[in-house]
Amino acid sequence: MSFVEYGDTIKDGDTAIVFLGHESMFPVKVQHGTVTQTKYGVIRHSTDLIGKKYGSKVTCSKGGWVFILHPTPELWTMNLPHRTQILYSTDISIITMMLELKPGSIVCESGTGSGSLSHALIRTVAPTGHLYTVEFHQQRAEKAREEFREHGLEHLVTVTNQDVCKNGFGVSNIADAVFLDIPSPWEAIGHAKSALKAEGGRICSFSPCIEQVQRTCLAMEEYGFTEINTLEILLRVYNVRTISLQIPDLGKAAEDNSSAGFDSSNPSNQGSPCAVLQQGTVQFKSGVPLREMVGHTGYLTFATKS
Amino acid sequence: GSRIREGDCAVLKRGDVFKAVPVLRRRKIIFEKQWFYLDNAIGHIYGTTFEVTNGGNLQPKQEVEETATETKEAGTDNRNIVDDGKSQKLTHDDIKALKDKGIKGQEIVQQLIENSTTFRDKTEFAQDKYIKKKKKKYEAIITIVKPSTRILSTMYYAREPGKINHLRYDTLAQMLTLGNIRAGNKMIVMETCAGLVLGAVMERMGGYGSIIQMYPGGGPVRAATSCFGFPKPFFDNLHEFPLSKVHSLLSGTFSTETLPSDPEEYALVEEESNGLTDEKQASLQETEEEPTTEGAMEINQTEEQETVDINAEDVEFKENKEKENKENVREKQIKQWERRKKLMEAAALLREKNADGLIVASKFHPTPLLSLLEFVAPSRPFVVYCQYKEPLLECYTKLRERGGVINLKLSETWLRNYQVLPDRSHPKLTMSGGGGYLLSGTTVVLDKGKCDSNNLETLKTEEPSPKRCKVQDLHC
């Protein structure tokens, strides 16, 4: 197992994802002799996990079962221990595409935070690219280093513990892309420019507040960045439900209801998702938006150094 | 940086408008109401901005120091500005005369400002806006950029959304992330998006790993793929397999012997003997229900012209000696044999049933395509795109019945662009609808005996099986 390579079977030392059910999972470090408690009972690593295929159903001690999944940056994002506010896959996906990342890309990032984006970036630039990530908080930098090591990624990433606004990224003229997720990104635009390759590259800055965006845009313009573009991406998730709606009783006889346009035996209505039930209701499948959704994570400002 | 070379596929950019063109000498290009030749661009670095001179030549734009006009005069509001249509002292003919003289766009804009009676009364913001608008119209500037998924997906969505099933670029970005596309994967891609999705997957895989493209009809369409300008080795591990053979492959009755006798396949082989490359062929095969007025891709147009030439030659060919005819037949046989070999390779890869993921983005109903999941290993992501939500609702239900998948999610993204200027920041246009929908999930080991588990709690946390759907609004 590694975050940059699929493996078929679960091995000692792997990070695996225990999937209990809808939106209910947690990561586990596989170790001989270790046990993991779940609400369905105990999982014994040596007998229940090691040597099994990823994606298998594992029966726990109480007879309940869970699935064990191969880790991916996306699953990690949903399960990682938060040390800071993190970026989610919706933002990560547009960041990756708009920064034009691919295998071999050299990327600079600050701050490292909880490493949610870092894992996704490393996945994309492997096996020949590299991530230089800068985190000014010493413990967080240390923790990130440890995590990358545990996930078999240390050869693809360099974690530096310093203040990017004061000291930059510690590299110059080598990056294809720079990503900033810090409180005052406008103070790091100059450093970003010098980290980028002489022939150019892309930059992205993530900020929750529009005032931060304004200052960042001004700084980008000042440093000669072009194609400055700010956007926001929102994810809408739908629940798939079967909905029944009652047909109002307008005092007509029941068999006349068919003429109200709900005739399932009518050939023109064949294959329609609606089905008329006896009790005067119509059934159909619907994608129902969640009652609550994320309305705002942050603004993403992209630009080009050319 | 990489330099623009003859024969490259480059992308022209003006503002937010893109157009992909092949870089060829002495070929007139028309873009955004300007015509020019790309000859002078060859050898320059990608990302260079050019000015179009009068003879249609390009010259790198000199960085002009904006001469700050001393003591800018500006009004505070528009209470005294009357629209009488007479504020501009220059007539249409005057402006045309300036253009014909070959006066630079910048100077024309300056003239317009000087001859506008209301300009000085406008607010500073309005003056800015006026200048921007005029610059856009009179300054003939284009930037030549290197193709990438970012640029090509933006271009296709703006210019030819019908060709890519209205797959918006942020949706494509989601697919690449949800599908965990990366170097070393063995991916199955089924798309009818002109090869754009395939190209995006290829870019993310960087030539490492393998891709099996499932195609409908006579062959895969890769018009957009060819715009990326991938190096040759990227195509070494790109396989293709006809959708029409999936059933026989799954049931074990598949054989390649039946192939060349298929009439459509035969036609394809014949076409290939014309010496067309795969990509060129693809653009010929592209059939579009809705007639497109102007193709976004000049490339296609040239290809068609070239093809006509080749066909004309072909006629001469046929009138030629039999010797050459025989050679043609032999060549055809070699081509057939090669095709069969490639097909066998693709079939063998699929039979292993250990693909690292499945990406579907096509004009077809997605539900039947779920049989492609048979080729995917457990604990791997899959993503299905559809322009409409309803087919994915059905897909979702069918997948639940089938089992072998978890973490199903039906989603859509909205994208909002912003104008960010001092004291003038606000959202630009909201893009919603028309970007399409995604159904994503993860494969797991399929229970042979449908789960009759005593694990009721898990059943509760899982989505209900169709039988239990009678209860309304179950938490799923």
> DSSP letter string over A178-221?
EEE-SS-GGGGHHHHHHHB-TT-EEEEEEESSHHHHHHHHHHHH
Measure CB to CB from residue B379 to each of A70, A240, A287 and give the nearest one. Answer: A70
Residues forming a β-bridge with B212: B188, B239
Alpha-carbon distance of B44 to B3, in angstroms, equals 5
- B49 with B96, same domain: the answer is no
Nearest residue to A151 (alpha-carbon basis) of A44, A253, A2: A2
Task: Work out the average pLDDT over A105-134.
Answer: 98
CB contact under 8 A, B474 and A241: yes
Whether residue B102 is found in the same domain as residue B206 = no
| A106-124 mean pLDDT | 98
* Judgement on whether residues B396 and B419 belong to the same structural domain of the protein: yes
- Same domain? B110 vs B153: no
Closest chain A CA to residue B177:
A93
Q: Alpha-carbon distance B317 to B181, whole Å? A: 46
B242 with B382, same domain: the answer is yes
d(CA A246, CA A258): 14
Partner-chain residue, chosen from B206, B354, B411, that has the shortest CB–CB distance to A103: B206
Q: Is A245 annotated as a binding residue?
A: no
Q: Let me know if residue B459 belongs to a domain.
A: no
Could you give the CA distance from residue B95 to residue B108 in angstroms, rounded to a whole number?
A: 8
Task: Quickly count: other Cβ atoms within 10 Å of residue A82's Cβ.
Answer: 9
Mutate which: B11, B146, B407, B468, vs A, most A CBs within 10 A: B407
Q: Which H/E stretch holds residue A143?
A: helix A138-150
Instruction: Give the one of B47, B203, B472 whose C-beta lies nearest to A243's C-beta.
Output: B472
How many residues comprise chain B?
476
Which residue shows structure tokens 């253009």?
B99
Given an 8 Å threshold on Cβ–Cβ distance, is B170 in contact with A94? yes
| Record: contact B406-A210, CB cut-off 8 A | no
Listed residues B15, B48, B63: the one ending a domain: B63
Superfamily of domain A75-234+295-305 in CATH is Vaccinia Virus protein VP39 (3.40.50.150)
Chain A residue numbers with beta carbons less than 8 Å from the beta carbon of B376 are none
Q: Domain residue spans in chain A?
A: 9-71, 75-234+295-305
Q: Which residue of B has its CA nearest to A232?
A: B416
Residue B373's SS3 state is: helix
Shared-domain flag, residues B107 and B162: no
| Residues of chain A positioned with their CB less than 8 A from the CB of B389 | 238, 287
Contacts A54 to B, Cβ<8 Å: 378-379
Which has more confidence, A63 or A129? Answer: A129
Q: Is B1 on the interface with A (CB under 8 A)?
A: yes
Q: Look at A128 and B206 and tell me if their CB atoms are within 8 Å.
A: yes
Asked if A199's CB is within 8 angstroms of B455's CB, the reply is no
Residue B414 touches partner A, C-beta closer than 8 Å: yes
pLDDT at B89: 84
In this structure, the answer to whether residues B370 and B421 fall within a common structural domain is: yes
Residues B357 and A123: beta-carbon distance below 8 Å: no
Task: Assess whether pLDDT exceeds 70 at residue A254.
Answer: no
Q: Do A238 and B411 touch (CB under 8 A)?
A: yes
B246 and B227 in one domain?
A: yes
Taking contacts as CB-CB distances below 8 angstroms, the residues of chain B near A275 are none
CB contacts < 8 A, A to B, total: 212
Token pair recorded at residue B149 = 């998924």
Q: Does B439 touch chain A (CB under 8 A)?
A: no
Residue B474 inside a domain? The answer is no
Q: What is the structure's pLDDT at B281?
A: 39
Determine whether the annotation assigns residue A8 to a binding site: no
Chain B interface test: which of A22, A131, A282 (most B C-beta within 10 Å): A22
Q: Within this chain, do residues B231 and B355 fall inside the same structural domain, yes or no?
A: yes
User: Does B286 map to a domain?
Assistant: no
Residue B280 placed within a domain: no
At residue B36, the pLDDT reads 92
Nearest to B276 by CA among B346, B223, B231: B223
Chain position carrying tokens 């949610």: A116
CB nearest to A21's CB, from B1, B354, B462: B462
A256 is in an annotated binding site: no
A205 is in an annotated binding site: no
CB contact under 8 A, A285 and B390: yes
A287–B422 C-beta distance less than 8 A: no
More confident residue, B283 or A293: A293
Report yes or no: A136 and A161 within 8 Å, Cβ to Cβ: yes
The CATH number of the domain where B52 resides is what? 3.10.330
Does some domain include residue B320? no
User: From the CA of B26, how many Å to the nearest CA of chain A?
Assistant: 27
Query: Residue with structure tokens 């039946």?
Result: B258
Determine whether domain A9-71 maps to CATH 3.10.330.20. yes
Out of A103, A124, A210, closest to residue B425 by CB: A210
Binary contact (B153, A97; C-beta < 8 A): yes
- Find which of A240, A246, A283, A306 to mutate to test the B interface (most B CBs within 10 Å of its CB): A240
> According to the model, what pLDDT value does residue B321 have?
61
Q: Is the CB of B208 less than 8 angstroms away from the CB of A22?
A: no
Average pLDDT score over residue span A22-36: 93
Query: pLDDT tens across A209-251, in order?
Result: 999 999 999 999 999 999 999 999 999 999 999 999 999 989 8
Q: What is the pTM of this model?
A: 0.85
Select from A92, A127, A233 the Cβ nearest to the Cβ of B415: A233
Q: Considering only alpha carbons, which residue of chain A is nearest residue B400?
A: A240
For residue B131, the enclosing domain spans 92-138
Amino acid present at B319: E
Residue of B148, B205, B416 with shortest CB distance to A100: B148
| Chain B, window 353-382: residues with a beta carbon less than 8 angstroms from a chain A beta carbon | 354, 356, 377-381
Say yes or no for a CB contact (<8 Å) between A22 and B462.
Answer: yes
Structural domain count, chain B: 3
Q: Establish if B404 belongs to a structural domain.
A: yes
CB contact under 8 A, A100 and B150: yes
Q: Say whether A238 and B389 touch across the interface (CB within 8 A).
A: yes
- CATH value at residue B235: 3.40.50.150
**DSSP 3-state of B295:** coil
Interface membership of B201 toward A (CB under 8 Å): no
Report chain A residues whose CB lies below 8 A from the CB of B182. Answer: 4, 103, 123-124, 126
> In this structure, are B25 and B121 located in the same domain?
no
**Nearest Cβ partner of B461 from A20, A55, A104?**
A20
Task: Report pLDDT digits (tens) over B119-158.
Answer: 888 888 888 888 888 877 777 789 999 999 999 999 999 9
* Cα gap A22→A217, rounded to integer Å: 41
Q: Do A126 and B182 touch (CB under 8 A)?
A: yes
Per-residue pLDDT in tens (0 to 9) along chain B, 476 residues: 689 999 999 999 998 899 999 999 999 999 988 889 999 999 999 999 998 887 788 888 866 555 545 557 888 888 888 888 888 888 888 888 887 777 777 888 888 888 888 888 888 888 888 888 887 777 778 999 999 999 999 999 999 999 999 999 999 999 999 999 999 999 999 999 999 999 999 999 999 999 999 999 999 999 999 999 999 999 999 999 999 999 999 999 998 765 544 444 444 443 333 333 344 333 434 443 443 334 444 444 444 444 444 454 554 555 556 677 788 899 999 998 998 999 999 999 999 999 999 999 999 999 998 899 999 999 999 999 999 999 999 999 999 999 999 999 999 999 999 999 999 999 987 766 689 999 999 999 998 755 444 343 333 334 444 443 333 443 44
Axis crossing angle, helix B105-114 with helix B92-100, rounded to the nearest 10: 150
Are B187 and B118 in the same domain? no
Same domain, B27 and B100: no
B196 assigned to some structural domain: yes
Q: Which of A55, A65, A97 sits opposite B458 (nearest CB)?
A: A65
Taking the C-alpha atoms of residue B375 and residue B354, their distance in angstroms, rounded to an integer, is 6
Q: Which tokens is B287 given?
A: 């059939």
